[in-house]
Amino acid sequence: MRGGRPADARIGEPTDVELLQRMRLEDESALEALYARYGGLVFTLALRIVGDPELAREVMQDTFLRAWDGRETYDPGRGRVPWWLMGIARNRAIDLLRSRPHQARLREQEKPPSDAHRVATVDPGAADALALRRAVTQALAGLPESQREAVELAYYRGLTQAEIARHLGQPLGTIKSRTRDAMERLRTLLEPLIETGGSEPRRD
Amino acid sequence: MTDEHSVEALAAYALGSLDPSERASVDAHVAACDACAARLRAYQGVAATLPLGLAQAPPPPEAWGVISATVRARRARRRIEAKASPLVAWLRFAKWPAVAVALSALLVWNVALQRELVRRAPGPAPGPEVEALSRRPGRVVIFRGTGKPEASARLFVAVDGGGHLAVSGLGQLPRERTYQLWFVRTGSSAMSGATFGVDRYGHAWVKVAVPRSLDDVQAIVVTEEPAPQGSAPTGRHLLDALPWR
């Protein structure tokens, strides 16, 4: 994902940055290509956060509309296109979650099982995409439960470190070091794959 | 310097798990620290891959249709707005001359008033600082003599914050008393802008300390206080700029 194309893009297809450049020229088909590339991932992330397919669809639609409206503001220096999209989607989903506390409470009662052990059920087909997915799944599964929990509460529930400490009844320093240790371990395991965007060279 | 503390903050930042003030301090730090900026990018890459570990859910097939229709509607609206844009552009262009004319008028009025005051007040000459202030563009606040009907005043606040006050119609005070200008604020105590006496013609022209923000200033008043100066307005309002906005 660090590369200009997603791990499952084929040789000869435009990079993400090229798609953004075409979007700036009002080329709607470039947005469609971006959607084809990342729609599934954005929807999956939104669904994990808001827990309701209808709301997740709302978040995903809003994410791509915001990407269209904000196509001039995307700055490659601040991260790759999918990071940007995931950032928009996550913020939107967390906002939605916070604006509907009743729904958030219901989700809390459900206590969804940790996702780290799940196996990806939809395979886009490309071997390197599968490799990255497998690596992420394995890396998360390899984390101690307490570290994985800290990461998930932060990323999917949108809680600050202090809120996580309160939620778990743990000292703030403990939560901070769990988060740091988890991210450091994930970085060590995943950075080589993220760096090269799977097995394909960076083009942007 | 990538110390333990900042690595913790970077990790939490990448996961969107910091409150706004902590986020701002990380932003400031990475702007100046290449090592932490690189570490943050790596963590952000990790965070963005986290959803790959989820069971992938295919988006509803109708979603793209909604996005596409909305984008088309927005583009159509923009085309309509673009047709109307010459008027908008003209207004945008005309705004600055209007501001310039208003500021010039204020400046002319300011200078005219200064001359008038100098002509009518042969008392102590205003300091060069006050004179300099009077030549700067700004806004004018007019006071009414609520507690002293024959008195009036104008406060000039320069665009860059300095201010000066021109007063007439107040009586001379004994040594142990002083006039004092106050900015009465919501949420914090009143701020003293100036203390002053008047000459034998009842005039004063003094430099004023203006609060950095006038947003929470509810009223501006002049009272009589014990000299050398009071810490809060105790006397009745002699001059009042309410409503001053």
Q: Are residues A30 and A79 in the same domain?
A: yes
- B178 inside domain: yes
Q: Give the A:B interface size as CB pairs under 8 Å.
A: 174
- A87 inside domain: yes
Residues of chain A with C-beta less than 8 angstroms from the C-beta of B19? 160, 162
- B63 inside domain: no
**How much is the pLDDT for B131?**
64
With a threshold of 0.80, does the pTM exceed it?
no
A185: tokens are: 């371990």
- B88 inside domain: no
Question: How many domains does chain A fold into?
Answer: 2
Query: Is residue B31 less than 8 Å (CB to CB) from chain A?
Result: no
- A204 inside domain: no
Of A1, A39, A79, the CB nearest to B59: A39
All residues at 6 or more sequence positions from A153 whose CB lies less than 8 Å from its CB, including other chains:
A159, A164, A167, A168
Of A48, A176, A194, the CB nearest to B46: A194
- B28 inside domain: yes
* HSE-CB for B131 with a 13 A CA cutoff: 7
Q: Are residues B40 and B128 in the same domain?
A: no
Residues of chain B with C-beta less than 8 angstroms from the C-beta of A116? 53
Q: Are residues A108 and A184 in the same domain?
A: no
Question: B7 and A184 in contact by Cβ < 8 A?
Answer: yes
Q: Are residues A42 and A101 in the same domain?
A: yes
Residues of chain B with C-beta less than 8 angstroms from the C-beta of A26? 75
CATH number at residue A127: 1.10.10.10
ipTM above 0.85, yes or no: no
Q: How many CB atoms lie within 10 A of CB B216?
A: 12
Query: Is residue B25 less than 8 Å (CB to CB) from chain A?
Result: no
Query: Nearest chain B Cα to A47, which residue?
Result: B57
- A178 inside domain: yes
CATH number at residue A80: 1.10.1740.10
The whole-angstrom distance between residue B158's C-alpha and the CA centroid of its chain comes to 12
Of A39, A160, A190, the CB nearest to B18: A160
Q: Are residues B114 and B215 in the same domain?
A: yes
The 10s digit of each residue's pLDDT in B63-120 is: 999 999 999 888 888 788 777 666 666 666 677 777 788 888 888 887 877 776 665 5
* HSE-CB for A4 with a 13 A CA cutoff: 17
Q: pLDDT under 50 in chain B at which residues?
A: 1, 121-123
Residues A32-48 as b/e (b if ≥16 CB within 10 A, e otherwise) read bbbbebbbbbbbbbbbb
Q: Are residues A151 and A190 in the same domain?
A: yes
Structural domain including A65 reads 1-112
- A165 inside domain: yes
Of B16, B41, B57, the CB nearest to A79: B41
Question: How many domains does chain B fold into?
Answer: 2
User: Taking a C-beta distance cutoff of 8 angstroms, is the pair B42, B36 a contact?
Assistant: no
Q: Are residues A92 and A21 in the same domain?
A: yes
Distance, CA of B49 to CA of B47 (rounded, Å): 5
Query: Is residue B50 less than 8 Å (CB to CB) from chain A?
Result: yes
Last residue within a domain, chosen from A84, A112, A140: A112
Question: B7 and A180 in contact by Cβ < 8 A?
Answer: yes
Last residue within a domain, chosen from A61, A77, A112: A112
Q: Are residues A96 and A191 in the same domain?
A: no
Last residue within a domain, chosen from A92, A112, A132: A112
The 10s digit of each residue's pLDDT in A115-169 is: 443 433 333 445 667 888 899 999 999 999 999 999 999 999 999 999 999 999 9
Structural domain including B181 reads 109-240
The 10s digit of each residue's pLDDT in A14-72 is: 889 999 999 999 899 999 999 999 999 999 999 999 999 999 999 999 999 999 999 98
Mean pLDDT of the region A67-80: 86
